Amino acid sequence: MAPVEVQRPILEWLLRPLDRSERDAAMAQLAGNRGWVAYTARRQAEGADPETIRFVKHRERDAHHVCAVTWIDGEGLHKEGVFSIVPDPSGAYSIAGSHYGGAASFPVHRPWLNAGGGGHPLYIRGRVMGTTQTAGVRVTLPDGIPLEDSVDESGWALFPTAYPRLDDSIRSGIVEVLDASGALLNRHRLFGNSEPV
């Protein structure tokens, strides 16, 4: 479980009153569009129901914390996200990066880490899909040092790193999805699809 001081900035962000004004403005500009609408949500607030917030996984490396969280937002939608939390020079924690969205899944035909990353410092996160046999994930980045995480029933693999940010060299990373014996289930590009390499 993430320490209380690490949870605090996430809870403060999730519990702000619901604000979808940026989303609504973007959708109004594209009247008649029935598909996806891309927009930058700098002020968006979730208005999460406090009774539904769950910290489902936490990993830490050198005071860089990464937390997987689930909640129901102010519109009644099930959400999940990953937050990167770092201390400032005074020791107070703040959000350094995040990815979040709906909790829906989609079919995948082979074991795959649906990976994403960002933040300062870089964090990598993903949900393992396409199998229930996964026990661990190994990510090897350009420096050759592998990052490893176990995979529990939540399906999340979380990797706080010492890299300052996401850059093109990181995109050449390799993911290995492993079963409980350590046997390889799939090996694929970090931010690619599930095609084996």
Over residues 91-110, the pLDDT tens digits come to: 999 999 998 887 777 778 89
Co-location of 67 and 130 in the same domain: no
From 130, 125, 134, 123, select the one nearest 176 (Cα to Cα).
134
Domain span at residue 161? 106-197
Co-location of 130 and 166 in the same domain: yes
User: Pairing between strand 146-150 and 134-140?
Assistant: antiparallel
Residue 177 sits in a domain of what CATH number?
Answer: 2.60.40.10
Co-location of 138 and 96 in the same domain: no
Over residues 11-64, the pLDDT tens digits come to: 999 998 877 676 677 767 766 666 665 655 555 668 899 999 999 999 999 999
Instruction: Report whether 69 contacts 59 (CB < 8 A).
Output: no
What is residue 44's predicted lDDT score, i.e. its pLDDT? Answer: 65
What is residue 40's predicted lDDT score, i.e. its pLDDT? Answer: 57
Query: Rounded to the nearest 5 degrees, what angle is found at the Cα of 120, between the Cα atoms of 169 and 38?
Result: 85
Domain end: 53, 75, 104, which one?
Answer: 104
Extract the tokens encoding 15: 């519990």
pLDDT at 9 over 70: yes
Over residues 126-171, the pLDDT tens digits come to: 999 998 899 999 999 988 789 999 999 999 999 999 899 888 888 8
Co-location of 30 and 98 in the same domain: yes
Co-location of 25 and 42 in the same domain: yes
Dist. CA 160–CA 65, nearest whole Å:
7
Query: Rounded to the nearest 5 degrees, what angle is found at the Cα of 31, between the Cα atoms of 37 and 81?
Result: 25
Dist. CA 51–CA 56, nearest whole Å:
14
Co-location of 165 and 114 in the same domain: yes
Co-location of 69 and 126 in the same domain: no
Residue 32 sits in a domain of what CATH number?
Answer: 3.10.450
Dist. CA 187–CA 113, nearest whole Å:
10
Domain end: 65, 80, 104, which one?
Answer: 104
pLDDT at 125 over 90: yes
Co-location of 55 and 44 in the same domain: yes
Number of domains in the chain: 2
Dist. CA 152–CA 171, nearest whole Å:
25
Domain end: 51, 78, 104, which one?
Answer: 104
Co-location of 42 and 113 in the same domain: no
The beta strands (E) that lie in the chain are given as: 54-61, 64-72, 78-87, 93-102, 112-118, 123-129, 134-140, 146-150, 156-160, 174-179, 184-189
Dist. CA 188–CA 177, nearest whole Å:
9
Dist. CA 190–CA 113, nearest whole Å:
8
Co-location of 11 and 99 in the same domain: yes
Co-location of 125 and 196 in the same domain: yes
pTM of the model: 0.86
Co-location of 91 and 1 in the same domain: yes
Q: 9: cis peptide before it, omega within 30°? A: no
